[in-house]
Amino acid sequence: MEFIKKRIPESNEMLMALGMALFVVHSWSLRMFFFRVPSFLLYMGVGQILAVLAYMMAFALLESLFVTLILILVSTILPSTWLRDGLGYKSFIIILVAAVASYLIQREIESTYPGIKTLLLWAVETGAPMIALLLLAGFVKPVRKVIQFLSEQVSVMVFIYLPIGVISLIVVIFRLIF
């Protein structure tokens, strides 16, 4: 137990990781939601649209928690200098690069399977800048400070998106039961 406790990152670092995940995932979902709203307005009432929003926000909460848990889990497994120490700013870089990669990849996904070569290429194209940025922030203090600062700012989102996600999840559960 003591061993696991030692391996788990600092709580404020985990909070920063969660903040970044919540910020990216919820903002993305909201963007998609507002993109769909004009057509929803044609055939859905306000209540129905809010219910869809609740589903999307609840799913975003679960996705954020999932991503954060993965980061924490990986940080406990890897050597502490790799990810555990400074998880906050490192998560910022990882999530940001992975989100940009997802944006670019989603533009490419067609109805045909991309194939192993393309998938490997995508993995390299995502992994390389991620590692480069992590190394840069690790070795260049001013860069790390800037990213840490941004990461702290974004962690405020925990107090906005987390309640939204939790309320949405309650709404969804309520709708599924009653």
Q: Which residues bind another protein (CB under 8 A)?
A: 24-25, 28-29, 32-33, 36, 39-45, 48, 51-52, 55-56, 59-60, 63, 66-67, 98-99, 102-103, 105-107, 109-114, 175-178
The dihedral sign for the CA sequence 80, 93, 24, 110: negative
CB 137 within 8 A of CB 89: yes
CB of 70 to another protein, least distance (A): 10
Q: In terms of CB distance, is 33 or 92 closer to another protein?
A: 33
CB of 111 to another protein, least distance (A): 7
Nearest in space to 57 (alpha carbons), one of 157, 178, 161, 135: 161
Q: In terms of CB distance, is 156 or 173 closer to another protein?
A: 173
Cα separation, 161 vs 52, in Å, equals 16
CB 155 within 8 A of CB 20: yes
CB of 17 to another protein, least distance (A): 15
Q: In terms of CB distance, is 126 or 151 closer to another protein?
A: 126
